[in-house]
Structure 1
């Protein structure tokens, strides 16, 4: 898989074969999410709207939102509600400007009632504080200047009226022009006073109104406890999937026949099929660790392809007999071989046992090449390989399954055979297949044996 593209079928196969451990990890993630939710008590959020009449610029609205969340407003709201910790409430109150000169003030609390009270009270205190800012001034002289200007304008208007009355009451052009200019001047002054009144901040800010009470929240504010639980389960599930894919991507196990033959330094004699079934549990594999692995479902490889469908028992026996025939041609007399199987490779162990059985049940002793070799099987641990010393064997036959061992492990196995005086005469690769039901008609395997033995003499390459 290290050289293959990760496809959806690979992910589906991994989820199907590792569903137990994935479900357990998802449940564990849900428990972690539930525990995390206990650290964050439920929160409820609601908003109150404040209308700002008139024309407001964007920066002015931003200023008003800052005022609404200021410490002065929040402290006053906390004091009115009788709540302690005004500084803590500042983190639970927010304000933002909406369309139509509306400021929405949001409050968050641990109950719907408290959230509603907080939002309403902050909105009211904001309106009151804004009105106070607009109506009050810290400079008495500055506050008196607009009124003095109005009085000056009134006196000027009266003086203009007196000048107009004192002008030549005749109908000369000069007198008419003078009275007209004085009237225009009086009108201009009156318009200026009106604009000054309209621009008075106190007149505008005092019109701020709260647009009704805040609605009582019906549900918790995110993230809710359910969201914590779902997020925890999803995160753990995705991490498990990514971890499986990463481990398979970085795996250095050899999967192709050329890689296996290069690591062992020998020729491939053939491939044999083993019907897919649950691996046999040996006595030494019944410890607590193995029971936990079986419970979690991680004792079966997931990164191997789905076994292909093979022929019936007769077809599988053909492959074993062809391997025995090639061994008979390749190994000199006495034809005795040591079958080396990596310990823990259940597929290879079953294939080697079947190969030994086929060699013992030789049905063609009258052939020109003699009987099949005598095979003796031994399981060798790959962590510290130790092969029995050479006795009467003419060499070693290595039987293993593809995708189970790395190049370094197989090289160590070959070195162990060389140290014991055994030459690796060949390699047999075993693979799992899905067995078909037995044939309803046709020659029996015993009847086909002589012909298969002859065919084995004619073919020398791997099956």
Structure 2
């Protein structure tokens, strides 16, 4: 199986076992996004287009976009709008310009309402055209002309005067009259050529005639990010953070999962493994305070990073496992009368297994009135944060029962040290695992299959006695 497949299986396990927590965090993220939308009011954006006639290079268009958002243009636009508390400096964050295809400059304005966004874009476009015309030497007053335009008008007037002089010359065919008309025609041709050269030498005269291509369209929708986008983004962000948090916690987990690691941390030998049906854990009693109820409600009281429980046999087969573990314990300590069964606090699987093991010990027949060779088991739960084991009374040692993958090496070492501090020797370790019970079979088959198992168990117990 590849790493990618393992990751997909892990994510699927998170979704199945933590869906309540993920749903709550997703709703919280959506509420955070909604609150953010209330802090930042909606914005509306629209654009006005300005056409630049003539031939323009790319760098020249970029220069015009910078001019459109310059402080001079924005200050004039703010003064023309007359909005309270809005200056050219504040408009710098609301106005942008970009060069589009076809020598078009798009000026975009953002405001709190569609009407204000439309007015802002139109006003900035008009101020940009006026300022660009002023830079190029043009003027918006049609009554006054200067520079190249005045020269053009003078050339036109001179051409007309030459025509009048040519018509007023001697219509005869004398040498003087023909020579005079020829000289006047040459003068008019020279003036026209000079004007054409002037136009070629000053292309900015044609480029100065920028045109605003109509009023900006009134926006009909909010500019991103909209309220819905913020709500969806908040929900998605919290969902992803929750999944990543689970994966990171599992990646950094130091909990021991293998039998050799657990045995080394507790400094004792493993006596065997026993099974606890998942149905028994589901029927655990309610309680534990408000915090425990909240954990059960969110589903965080069940481990997600453990594989799905495997199918197990019937109740008779599981009891055989308990009896074999107890038989190994009895063979290990033939003269013991009582043993202390230490269970880490919060390990529900181990607590169920320890209770079943103690019940099996009580059901064992005693070979004599003294009960020698059949130690009784007393179960105690020890907190792993500050482990404290009861002092030795008449117990001959401590048996640690726990589930794999639930505790770190430091926590198990602390339990072993607490046992040693209370003068209890850790005589063995029992691992408890959660399994899935198979559906019940018919009554006839159950009796036929269960009778030999119980007979073997009784015979083995009697023989060992």
Inter-partner Cα distance in structure 1 for 2:382 and 2:413: 13
Asked if the contact 2:334/2:374 (under 8 Å) is kept, the reply is: no
Matches within 5 A, 1:196-207: 196-200=198-202, 203-207=205-209
SS in structure 1 of the partner of residue 255 of structure 2 = coil
* 1:21 partnered with 2:26: no
1:348 is aligned to: 350
Matches within 5 A, 1:274-293: 274-277=276-279, 278=281, 286-293=288-295
* 1:312 partnered with 2:317: no
Asked if the contact 2:32/2:231 (under 8 Å) is kept, the reply is: yes
SS in structure 2 of the partner of residue 113 of structure 1 = helix
Per-residue deviation, residues 325-366 of structure 1 (Å, max 9, x unmatched): 212222222443222222221111110111111122226969
1:51 is aligned to: 51
Matches within 5 A, 1:82-93: 82-84=82-84, 85-87=86-88, 88-93=90-95
1:448 is aligned to: 453
1:262 is aligned to: 264
Distance 1:220 1:145, change over 3 A: closer
Inter-partner Cα distance in structure 2 for 1:304 and 1:457: 39
- Report the CA distance between 1:187 and its aligned residue: 6.1
1:74 is aligned to: 74
Distance 1:361 1:210, change over 3 A: same
Asked if the contact 2:339/2:396 (under 8 Å) is kept, the reply is: yes
- Report the CA distance between 1:318 and its aligned residue: 1.5
Inter-partner Cα distance in structure 1 for 2:121 and 2:72: 15
- Report the CA distance between 1:218 and its aligned residue: 1.5
SS in structure 1 of the partner of residue 236 of structure 2 = helix
Inter-partner Cα distance in structure 2 for 1:390 and 1:280: 34
2:42 is aligned to: 42
Per-residue deviation, residues 158-210 of structure 1 (Å, max 9, x unmatched): 9xxx9xxxxxx9xxxxxxxxxxxxx9999677434213135545741453222
Inter-partner Cα distance in structure 2 for 1:64 and 1:186: 38
Asked if the contact 1:364/1:453 (under 8 Å) is kept, the reply is: no
- Report the CA distance between 1:232 and its aligned residue: 1.5
Query: How many residues were matched structurally?
Result: 433
Inter-partner Cα distance in structure 2 for 1:203 and 1:194: 12
2:439 is aligned to: 437
Distance 1:456 1:146, change over 3 A: farther
RMSD between superposed Cα atoms in Å: 4.0
Asked if the contact 1:107/1:119 (under 8 Å) is kept, the reply is: yes
Asked if the contact 2:335/2:372 (under 8 Å) is kept, the reply is: no
Which moves more between the two structures, 78-87 or 238-247?
A: 78-87
- Report the CA distance between 1:223 and its aligned residue: 0.9
Per-residue deviation, residues 106-139 of structure 1 (Å, max 9, x unmatched): 11111112212222222223223323333359xx
Matches within 5 A, 1:42-441: 42-84=42-84, 85-87=86-88, 88-136=90-138, 143=147, 147=151, 190-200=192-202, 203-277=205-279, 278=281, 286-362=288-364, 372-440=374-442, 441=445
SS in structure 2 of the partner of residue 36 of structure 1 = helix
Distance 1:391 1:91, change over 3 A: closer
Matches within 5 A, 1:3-22: 7-22=7-22
Inter-partner Cα distance in structure 1 for 2:199 and 2:148: 14
SS in structure 2 of the partner of residue 91 of structure 1 = coil
Q: State the TM-score, normalizing by the size of structure 2.
A: 0.81
SS in structure 2 of the partner of residue 253 of structure 1 = coil
Per-residue deviation, residues 6-45 of structure 1 (Å, max 9, x unmatched): 6122122123222222222222222221221122211111
Distance 1:314 1:40, change over 3 A: same
Asked if the contact 1:324/1:372 (under 8 Å) is kept, the reply is: no
- Report the CA distance between 1:435 and its aligned residue: 0.8
- Report the CA distance between 1:373 and its aligned residue: 3.4
Inter-partner Cα distance in structure 2 for 1:404 and 1:223: 44
Which moves more between the two structures, 7-16 or 305-314?
A: 7-16
Distance 1:81 1:420, change over 3 A: closer
Inter-partner Cα distance in structure 1 for 2:351 and 2:298: 24
Asked if the contact 2:335/2:373 (under 8 Å) is kept, the reply is: no
